[in-house]
A and B are shown apart, each in its own frame.
Chain A
């Protein structure tokens, strides 16, 4: 049922009627749609119908025009966006975005803070050292996606929305570890200045470089550590912190793996370039001989269960490191970078289990 032009003509003739344009009301434009909610409510995938769901291979305008609206000529640009979809895209962005919204939690009220009891001094200090490290480094994964947002075109808005959820998650991570450090009689200790590997993430001039370094490598390692958190945790509160953070982190890693996969599928010529980024990042990031001593010692104490038990702690810490390297390799395989196995930094390569026989 279209708008009747005769009605508009009659309106135009009414006394005191301001000048009417109404072209927006009669312009044909993309078709009308009727998205319906599914099992998970009305999701982004539910509204990605026809042209509205068509994220173009190349974003060609520099304005805030939303995908599927009618372009107006003469509008000022708001930024220089990354034009190529393959440079920023991941097919799971919408899914992770919706999941992130469903799984938000509060560090104030969702952690059983009352379960924290006084700990032996050195264990409390070790927990606080780990928390100091984490409250220090977590938000690098908020600052870095943040600084990329201004380059994501509204034609590829799904990526921007996902990145925003990551910033929000990392805010909570910064916050929850700070809260833990200040909750049980100790305080913050030594920030590690773990900036060699992390500056690298902020320095990245390419989105895929940033994502591979941050999502796949750094957050991958953190994710494995969080998932091993039950061995670090001394009480229910800490277990819950690690569990909830791990859940968030798996979304971040998941985006990175799927982005890398998308790049390798759509721009296979970038394979060697990506290896170069990882060559340098692995070298800076976590070569065992370059390990961060405060964090390392704190892990031995917490995982061993005290200062006198560091042999057990060392064994568990080594198991964690191995798990980190193997899971990293597995993520690379899923992303389509299985050939990294033989050029990985030796410090990591040594930790790898032999590849599964095919």
Chain B
């Protein structure tokens, strides 16, 4: 074996890639193709399905019919991403620069909720945000809030749930990129007459952009496709595209529409990511000159 590898050095990268490629082919490319075919079907479960290219109208119909849910998903996803960023950056910054010997403990605490199931954690938010729950109950009792005030079953609860559930996906990449920054660069900036905030803006922030980029993708993409939070914490007016797809697939058995929706979602995310990458990746943004 060793001899073979030595004689065929060029084969090594392919061998290393092989398991991953195989995995992707079996579990991503093939189902993806299958789903693409499905999205061009017509018919129902009872009558049977028929493939035709003209069924591309599935896409336009799905988009028109479910546009409100699409735009809502984008809105909620973006809001949750912005919120996770607002919470994560100071958190990651503090752990990276002020954590001292508690660094690892603090990082553990960030991921600790992951040891509980996603569903359980979301359900427990219904208790926290409930109309007479531990948050609103006391406030209503002392009369700070009117009795009819609600958090649960509102968009706020959905966005809060998504924010909570995806927080570590934002915190960890930002932490990693901050941790990598040579502290002497900040000192050098301060030496060159930048104030503490100036040094942050010119040095720390631009150098942590890769982490921000990775973190916001890791949050935004699953947040947009999420349906659990909207299902458990929202109402009928807060359904997201994920709920629609789930409903079409599992309840309505409308496989073509569900597949078309999935593809539209995927395409939308890809375009959004490409635009975002261009924005963050350009020299103007990272050079931070003027």
Partners in one complex: no
The residues of A with any CB-CB pair to B shorter than 8 Å are: none
The residues of B with any CB-CB pair to A shorter than 8 Å are: none
